Amino acid sequence: MSDRIRILLFCRAPAEGPEVIERAYHEISRTLADTPGLLGNELLHSLIEDDAFAVMSEWESFEAFHAWDEGPEHKGQTAGLRPYQDRTRRPWDMYAVRASY
């Protein structure tokens, strides 16, 4: 069992197109590059729904994620994607890595 966790943030592209999501993702990722405990992130695009995206971030532990999530910079760092969160579902979820190969 690992202490690593993964956070999924679900987004929907606006009428202006998917480029809006991609731009916001790249801007946010640059600001998060040196965040303690963040191992990396990926922008995922649905093969089923053209306007559906998910951002998957991997953290070394729940404690590292929680420290950042509760910190003063979190809201400002992630503001660029907040308007595009998919509100038709829970806009985010958190998973623990139970096994990997």
The three-class DSSP label of residue 20 is helix
Question: Among 92, 100, 85, which Cα is nearest to 21's?
Answer: 85
Length of the chain: 101
What pLDDT does residue 97 have?
Answer: 86
pLDDT in tens, 28-87: 999 999 999 999 999 999 999 999 999 999 999 999 999 999 998 888 999 999 999 999
- Per-position b or e across 6-41, b if 16+ CB within 10 A of its CB: bbebbbbbeeeebebbeebbeebbeebeebebbeeb
What pLDDT does residue 2 have?
Answer: 64
What does pTM read for this prediction? 0.90
pLDDT band for position 98 (cuts 50, 70, 90)? confident
